[in-house]
Amino acid sequence: MKAILERKKAAAIVTAASRCWAAPTTAEVAELLRPELAEGETLPDLELLQELFGRALARRWQRLESADQAHLRATEDRDHSNGENAAALAKLYRRVVDLRRFLRGVFGGGAARRLLGVAGATSRDALVLLRQAGHAVARLGDTSRGLPSACVELTSYDRSRWAAPVEAAAETLRWASARATGAAKRLEAAVADRRRAIADFNDVFVLAAGWLEGTYRAAGRADRAELVRPSRRRRGRLLQGDDRGPGRRVEPAADESRPADVESHQHPPAVGDRDRQTVPMPAEPPARAVG
């Protein structure tokens, strides 16, 4: 999904910036604020704060990526289970239709209906069809009910053999229906977890990117601030990703201050497609590690 890809790029830019530019930004902000210190006061560890914001955002992205992949797997499992369920339903329908057609040919229409106890058309609804199949199998298995007079001569009148294909197909449909129901519930849980992960990521992203933007502006580095400036219109993404174009500082309209809705349930793109995306990184080399 495009929105997830954009968040991936935004998280990569912000976390890399928090590490690469922590030391020079700290020095530049310290130069600005040191004259304001009173006696006995010391500057906060801005380098560590930048590192911690980067870690917090990286952890939220990892959770979001994991939830998104789980959602993808649950979607594929749901689709596969629905396909199996549809195939099992079609097979049972054919088995019941074939059995009814066979018995009508052997005993006649009225006698066949009385033998199976199934009136009306064969249903295509899974629950109704299972009831029809179960009723037919039970009536055929009831040996206390005699067979009507046959219209044609058969070499065998094995009632259990007539019922076996229907019974096997009904069991397959019951199993497939249960699996499809379970897959649908797992997908529902995955969708909810993905939405929570997106909301959590959005909240931390606004804090981390906004704090870094303000820090870079305090350091006199407007170019760095524009790189990490969060979008107000599309939460969890950078202003660079907006359709206004990179770096354009346009205040949002009145209706743009509201958080964007969490993405609706869609099929996300393959993970491999995401990995092929190019993620821009800050140009300066990493500073020393925080220790």
CA dist 212 and 205 (Å) reads 10
Distances in Å between the alpha carbon of 169 and those of 108, 125, 126?
25, 15, 12
Residue 75 and residue 189 in contact, taking contact as beta carbons nearer than 8 Å: no
Tell me the percentage of the chain whose pLDDT exceeds 90. Answer: 52
- Rg of the chain over CA atoms, in angstroms? 33
Q: What is the pLDDT of residue 287?
A: 46
CA angle, 209 then 212 then 214, to 5° = 110
For 195-229, the pLDDT digits (tens) are: 999 999 999 999 999 999 999 999 999 999 999 99
Where helices occur in the chain by DSSP H, the ranges are 2-20, 22-33, 46-107, 109-116, 126-141, 159-218, 222-227, 271-275
Instruction: Measure the CA–CA gap between 63 and 69, rounded to whole angstroms.
Output: 10
pTM value is 0.70
Q: From CA 151, how far away is CA 19, in angstroms rounded?
A: 88
- Name the residue ranges covered by the structural domains of the chain: 2-76+187-275, 88-179
Asked whether the beta carbons of 173 and 94 are under 8 A apart, the reply is no
Mean pLDDT is highest, among 27-36, 77-86, 245-254, for 77-86
pLDDT in tens, 12-50: 999 999 998 989 999 999 888 888 989 898 988 989 999
Contacts of 271 (CB under 8 A, 6+ apart): 69, 72
Scored b (16 or more CB within 10 A) or e, 75-105 reads bebbeebeebbeebbebbbebbeebbeebbe
Q: What is the per-residue pLDDT for 118?
A: 83
Q: Ranked by mean pLDDT, which of 34-43, 233-242, 252-261 comes out on top?
A: 34-43
- Rounded CA separation 74/72 (Å): 5
Q: Is the pLDDT of residue 276 over 70?
A: no
The pLDDT, as a whole number, for residue 185 is 97
pLDDT of residue 85 exceeding 80, the answer is yes
